[in-house]
Structure 1
């Protein structure tokens, strides 16, 4: 024995084996890679969740010497010229394995591993127990795996069988379906190349992995593909949009990229599959297996587009035998400052920028097709527009449809559709007018078309107002308590004079005139604010309609005012307002005074007239009238309901907006999967 010796510590086994991988899919990837490098045409995985794993391939197999000098040698570098070189002997495959430590990964999920291998008709087998291995390492001795002499039936076929038992439950607690989905994303071996030509298949519990196991493909709306190799149409949704990209990074150095990246309809489509894990990343492959688990976050790309992206990029130049090995031990990351990695990041960033612009232009157009299918009333609305407006309307609907909302917030999108339709009506009217102004000759047909559109747009603008007003009136009507009615009505009535009359609007300069009228009240009554409040609420609003000037005075709901007081008060207001208007140049203004009260006023003066006749005669002197709180609610509700019932245009648009709020019909493009072929 020489003077010096080198030993492998237990920490190496922990770092490069037991703790190197945290999930079963990564461990199985190493065994699949070994089978591929051994010129296997198939690797079969029997996955019994929580019990055992059997990995069987039909590759070259190993002799006892191969087992000792290759498999059992930690750090065996098969790509060295002195060992196996750069490609497999039978099919000339570029080797996936490089570091010679992946075999230790099995101890991440199992404590006992038994290896059976048959080469040239001879079967040899051994078993490794992790506890025994650790004990021998701690004692400073070499470890000798236990020889297995009894070979189970069927284990003596050409190739290698690995049996993993005493599983580590936490890391191996994965369903077979989940394993399929995760392995399908980790290898570019899903083509149908015949075995005789080097084809390679991965089989789990008797079923071969195929494109349908790629869950992220089912969610794609758009896909960008590098190079000539394309994903089969049958693996993609039937209406996916495809765009080609140049995959050349540096032709002189033969740095090329293959593969694809794509966008889902919504970001949540890439996170909803618990079995497949998060799909919102781009895996980088080299030699058909992962070398970087995710690269999106390395691209310094902050556009919204990045939230919708998934993909798989193949860059074999990252694992060139003639260049330095830049993959970390677990093959999940790359040395970031290597020029190859920098070049790939720069290249993908530029591809993302270009794709995001394409996406922004095409996505609304694609979304609108789905929207018009889901909401037939919207299609009817678009069809009813002037031809020159339809593309703009579709663009608006598509933009709203493509907005991303958090889960449970889809009602906001429907609100935007409603608002967008009404806004489009206003913009459309202005555009139509501008076009008509540009005509060299105005015809009756042109004018009628404009008037027809104007009526439609006005109906559209009014319908939401009418609906909200009716809802407000309904709420007022449902208030049975008198004090509640007073509190609610007095709070809203002054700012919403439409409750009194649909045609009333606040006049320009209303606040100034209202202050003038209140000054008249204070001067005439000679009372302070508190005393005025005790006498009865003095609240004044001023409005106009059709040339008429209207004074609105509210009294408390439960106050029964004297009719003589009302007449005198209203007369003062009318005279004061006339003085204000005459100064402004209106020599003969039409003035009306409206009192809003809770019940019929008191009549103290004794006359031969009835109380009603006397009240009417007094109010006629000042062109005044009384409106009761309960009456104005009922009248307003009836007025607006009659308007809706009478207006065909309003009813049509009302039905359209209702259809957006309601649940969409059965027709939907969200079929979520590839077309049946």
Structure 2
């Protein structure tokens, strides 16, 4: 038996496997190279960006750190994967080392094909260049020899990295954007200045209320940080996670359901969590490995990381809920303190005034994202009814009703359109009367289909409360009419009529397609209606719309799919069904009101 020796050989592709390709943006690459400068005890990091990316463009990163000698380059820099913390957890200046994996030095290859490094240390200058292309044909990295040019120098210690042959598809953000990103993601400590294109990186001023927090997470460790409730919605809301003074996780809302809160509060929260236990100074291997190789996230399947995520979600929900309640109270206080409102309330008997105020606050709490003018209209509606006998009966019914019924009423009022409300009970009874008349017309053989369509168009509340307040959308109708003209070419006798309404600057729309009486609605018609989505998305990418196909007769195969189509916001209704649904809605409101 013979024993032979063998050893590992690493392909140049190991660079990609180690995660170098993850540094595929200027921000990520510069953050990693900036972290190296911080660990080198630099007091200044200077970055020079080109105006545009072309064949001659380069990015230059220069620091005033300790620099590297020829020996440092050969024994440490060219040792891929060398743990930077092997020499200690802190630098000579006492900084907590933020690098550890030993591959961040090669981050430049994420955006460039050529990296040139010049370093000055103790009167000696060392320069070498690495070409990514020259590594591609090698079987092993160890086969590649680099030429390091050394000379004497009078320059102070430091290192310069030049990134050349930049990726043609590179998205080069503005210097201002990169400054904000680097300031936020790199350590912000005294004695470490970052300059991009001649301008120092400074904190972005976010106007709002700042709050500090501190808590011990059982079984994990201490959590500190801050959050700001900004005065306006933020482009990237949420809490970032910082470890060793460096951002590891970008701002996140940790899965909070923002739709369940009002005032857009969730989108106004911005801040940071300091979670040093995820990479503690004691150097415990199990903790250090919680951070991904490229330090742009955590190992999500770790129990410790999951505990942090669960805590952050609970914490954000608590913050948002508290702000919602506070904002709701402030808004109600502001609206109720308007001179005209105060004067009318003061004229009411004390017990009536108290009930009216309670009702206003209760309904406003349910309609948190209603515009200020509509909220004022709602208060006007409440006061008007409290000043009349009908009002007192109505409000007595609301206050004494089951809370779920009151909530239903709030939703109905919101959907209905607050600006049209003058007399709830009277209007509802009038609308039920209109429905009754229309039911007679539909049942009549003498009614013309065109007349019925006009009746519906003039009373769109029959289809959906508040729809009559939506604007006519002629551009949208033109797009769909052109499509329908193609489909029904030479078949004008069965061409459907179309009504288009929209709101929110055209981002939400309702489309009503009225089929001719003699045409049976078949699956082809359903397919045509479903194709509206692809057609409209080309013109308005963010549009949300509901389609109503109104006909007299439906093929059995179509009726079998109605429930599924409802989930796709496509409703197949006959005239009879429209009127029946409308009657049921308004009779339900009267039931809630006890009338």
The question of a shared fold, defined as TM-score above 0.5 by the shorter chain, is answered with yes
Q: Matched residues in 2 for 1:72 and 1:332: separation?
A: 23
Q: Which residue of structure 1 aligns with residue 309 of structure 2? A: 345
Runs of at least 5 residues in structure 1 that lack an aligned partner in the other structure: 213-234, 272-278, 405-409, 435-460, 470-491, 497-505, 516-528, 532-677
Structure 1 residue 265: Cα displacement: 5.3
Contact 2:70 2:126 in 1 (8 A): yes
- Aligned positions of 1:533-548 closer than 5 A: none
Q: 1:68 to 1:530 in 2, by over 3 A?
A: closer
Query: Aligned partners of 1:328, 1:127: CA distance in 2, in Å?
Result: 28
Of residues 42, 47, 50, the one that matches 2:49 is 47
Q: Find the counterpart in structure 2 of residue 421 from structure 1.
A: 380
Match of 1:77 among 69, 83, 88: 83
Is 2:96–2:244's contact at 8 Å kept on the other side of the alignment? yes
Name the structure 2 match of 1:166: 165
SS at match of 1:96: coil
Q: Compared with structure 1, are the counterparts of its residues 401 and 41 closer, same or farther at alpha carbon in structure 2 (3 Å cutoff)?
A: farther
Quick one: structure 1 residues 355 and 127, their matched pair in 2 at CA, closer, same or farther if it must change by over 3 Å?
same
Is the Cα contact below 8 Å between 2:115 and 2:129 reproduced in 1? yes
Q: Secondary structure at the match of 1:241?
A: strand
Alpha-carbon displacement from aligned partner over 1:141-183 (angstroms, at most 9, x marks no partner): 52223434689x99x4321111111111323422212212222
Give the 3-state SS of the residue equivalent to 2:101 in structure 1.
Answer: coil
Deviation at 1:17, TM superposition (A): 5.2
Equivalent-residue separation in structure 2 for 1:334 and 1:204 (angstroms):
29
The higher radius of gyration belongs to 1
Which shifted more, 25-34 or 358-367?
Answer: 358-367
Equivalents in 2 of 1:97, 1:38: separation in Å?
A: 10
Q: Which residue of 1 aligns with 2:271?
A: 311
Larger relative contact order, structure 1 or 2 (CA cutoff 8 Å, min sep 6): 1
Question: How many Å apart are 1:381 and its aligned residue?
Answer: 2.7
Deviation track 1:398-449 (CA, whole Å, cap 9, x = no partner) reads 7588517xxxxx6xx6445423421244357789989xxxxxxxxxxxxxxx
Q: In the alignment, which of 237, 243, 258 is matched to residue 280 of structure 1?
A: 237
- The change in CA–CA distance for 1:296 and 1:32 in structure 2 (over 3 A counts) is same
Alignment check: 8 A CA contact 1:280 1:309 kept: yes
Give the 5 Å matches for 1:224-623: 235-237=205-207, 240-250=208-218, 255-264=221-230, 269-271=233-235, 279-297=236-254, 303-304=260-261, 306-320=266-280, 321-324=283-286, 325-367=289-331, 379-386=338-345, 399=365, 402-403=368-369, 414-427=373-386, 465=422
Supply the distance in 2 between the matched residues of 1:430 and 1:331 (Cα, whole angstroms). Answer: 68
Check conservation: 1:368, 1:398, Cα contact below 8 A.
yes
| Alpha-carbon distance between aligned partners in 1 of 2:330 and 2:58, rounded to the nearest angstrom | 47
Tell me if the contact between 1:364 and 1:398 (Cα under 8 Å) persists in the aligned partners: yes
Q: Equivalent residues in 2 for 1:128-167 (5 A)?
A: 128-135=130-137, 137-138=138-139, 142-148=143-149, 156-167=155-166
Contact 2:374 2:419 in 1 (8 A): no
Unpaired runs of 5+ residues, structure 2, are 347-352, 394-417, 447-595
1:107 to 106, 109, 112: 109
**Offset, 1:5:** 2.4
Contact residue 213 and residue 224 of structure 2 kept, 8 A = no
Q: Displacement of 1:299 after TM fit?
A: 6.8
Shift of 1:309: 3.5
Cα deviation code 1:495-554 (max 9, x no counterpart): 69xxxxxxxxx9xxx99xxx9xxxxxxxxxxxxx999xxxxxxxxxxxxxxxxxxxxxxx
Query: 1:73 Cα deviation (Å)?
Result: 1.3
Contact 2:108–2:115 at 8 Å: present in 1 too?
Answer: yes
Paired with 1:463 and 1:47, the residues of 2 have a C-alpha distance of 57
Preserved CA contact (<8 Å) 1:17 1:108: no
- Please tell me whether the aligned partners of residues 278 and 290 of structure 2 are also in contact (alpha carbons under 8 angstroms): yes
For this pair of structures, how many residues does the alignment match? 392
TM-align CA RMSD? 4.3
